[in-house]
Structure formats: C-alpha cells, structure tokens
Structure 1
Amino acid sequence: MYEDDEHVAFLDRWPTLPGKLLVAPKAHVEHVVKDLDEGAYVRIMLVVRKVALAVERVFEGERTYLYSLGSQEGNSHLHWHIAVLPPGVPYEEQQFHVLMTENGVLDVPPGEMVDLAARIRAAVLAVE
C-alpha cells in the first residue's frame, strides 16, 4: 500500500481489525530507539502518520492504535502496527484485547484483501 526508498507498508496477514497493517523500514533495524538516529526516526514516524491517516479515510474509527511490538525471539525486525478501532466496540474488548490474535483474527478472502489494499493505497496517495 505504500513504499518509498526506506519503508514499506502492507496489510497484516492475521488482522484482528479491518484494515490492520504494518509499516517497516526496509533496512534491518531491531530497536526503535537506539537503532534509529533522529532523522530516521522522524522519517518512519511520518510514514506511519501518512499511512494511518489513509486508513482513517477508509475506515471509520473512534481511535487509531499505533504500536511497535516484537522481541529477539519473534519479529525482531522493527515494525509499527496501525489499527483503527471501530465505533461501538465494548470497552472490555478494546485496547490490547482487540489487538491480540488469541482473541480471534478476521477471515478476509484474498479478493477482499486485494480490494482493501487498493482502497488504502488510493487513500495514501491522497494524503498530503
């Protein structure tokens, strides 16, 4: 849905919310604080913001979650998750609950994923 010389954005393979996606640097980076100089940090955060604004254009939400998880044991490559919380989700099912795959993932058919990616990509191109 987005790519530049340093970053890539793509849909989550196991989404817990519609349109959940990830933004990652192309270069292998593991630590968000100590492995990025100030300029690289600002650049990736601007990409995260741009993609998040695009996702918000496609999905109505009451809150947009932005978070970076991972560890040396799994997903050591730095990445940011972007997930829009739909309106009306009960409080006890919000925040970490709605983000955990243990609580279920969406079964989105491949054709719908392709359509969704195209819609978000068009929204990314419209974000200034």
Structure 2
Amino acid sequence: MDRRPMDLEAYVERTRSGPCFVCAFLAGDPGYAHETVFEDAAHVAFLDRWPTLPGKVLVAPKAHVEHVVRDLDEGAYHRLMLFVREIALAVEAVCEPERTYLYSLGSQQGNAHLHWHVAALPSGVPYPHQQFHALMTENGVLPLPPDQAVEMAIRLREAVKARGVLKEG
C-alpha cells in the first residue's frame, strides 16, 4: 500500500476547533464533504477522507449522539449495530479482506459525534503492519482521488443493496 504522510497537526486542530465533522458533512458543508456509501433515515455510511486501508468506511447515526452506551436506548443501539454490520459485510464483499476491524473512536475533546470505523485488512499484510499499525494515520494514509472514491462508494452501495437488509431513506 502506497501510504502518504498526513498533516496530523492540522487534523487535530480541525477536530478540536472546527464543527462536528459528521453534522457538517450531513449539512452539506463542502469543507467536510465525504463520499456517501449508504444511508437510511437514521444512519449514514461514508468513505473516510484519510483512509489507512482500502475501502475504509465511517458509520454514524445522523442525530448528534456522543455516547454509544448512554445516549442510545436498546432499540437504537441494535439498529445502529445492524447498520454497522451490513456496511461491514458490504466492505468484506468488495475488499475481500483477511480481517475486518470495527472500532469507535473520538472523545469529548474532538470528533465527539459517535462513529464507527469499518476497516478491511487486505490479505498479505505482514503481521507487524496489521492491527493498530494498519489503522494509525501516523503511519500514513492512502491517497484517494475523487474518481476512485466515487467508484468505491458505488461498489459498496451495490453490495449493501444486494444483501437487501437495509432500506435507503
């Protein structure tokens, strides 16, 4: 994988002083544009702007929720996790990974909007470059030209639709 360095200082400044990136994206702010993979009435999946692995997707509730265990009732939690699972299965169908990583990051100090990362580890990645190493932007990010982002989002969207579990909306 041809990783490129990322300006981590600028990223941290943006996450700590800028608007909520998920809410800004959903509001159509061009500075926070992402390529949408799939959405329903309550959730959205979109490509990571700074992917560390091919096909990396972020999944979030559309409502500004900050705590997965405190802010979601049991039904909302189950619906969110079903959405995450279906997106992850689509990522697996398209990327055919050795392993799929699911994790949620963020804090009250930055990236507070609850979101899950769906990251597909390609086969053949040497063990020392798997797991945390593969996920950390400090180890570089993959360039994602706009045309490739559109193509990946289309392929992922088709894979979600082919499963037929989630309904657009």
TM-score of the superposed pair, with normalisation by structure 1: 0.98
Q: Map 1:1-128 onto structure 2 (within 5 A).
A: 1-128=37-164
User: Aligned-pair distance for 1:60?
Assistant: 1.4
CA distance in 1, matches of 2:130, 2:68: 25
Q: How big is the alpha-carbon RMSD for the aligned residues of Structure 1 and Structure 2?
A: 0.7
CA distance in 1, matches of 2:159, 2:121: 18
Kindly provide the amino acid, as one letter, of the partner of residue 12 in structure 1: D
Contact 2:94 2:155 (C-alpha < 8 Å) held by counterparts: yes
CA distance in 2, matches of 1:125, 1:73: 36
User: Aligned-pair distance for 1:2?
Assistant: 1.0
Name the count of aligned residue pairs. Answer: 128
CA distance in 2, matches of 1:32, 1:69: 11
- Percent of aligned pairs with the same residue? 73
Q: 4+ runs of 1 displaced by more than 4 Å?
A: none
Contact 2:106 2:114 (C-alpha < 8 Å) held by counterparts: yes
CA distance in 2, matches of 1:5, 1:88: 38
Q: Which runs of 5+ in 1 are unaligned?
A: none
User: Which has the greater radius of gyration?
Assistant: 2
Kindly provide the amino acid, as one letter, of the partner of residue 85 in structure 2: R
CA distance in 2, matches of 1:60, 1:122: 15
User: Aligned-pair distance for 1:41?
Assistant: 0.5
User: Aligned-pair distance for 1:26?
Assistant: 0.5
Kindly provide the amino acid, as one letter, of the partner of residue 146 in structure 2: P
User: Aligned-pair distance for 1:30?
Assistant: 0.3
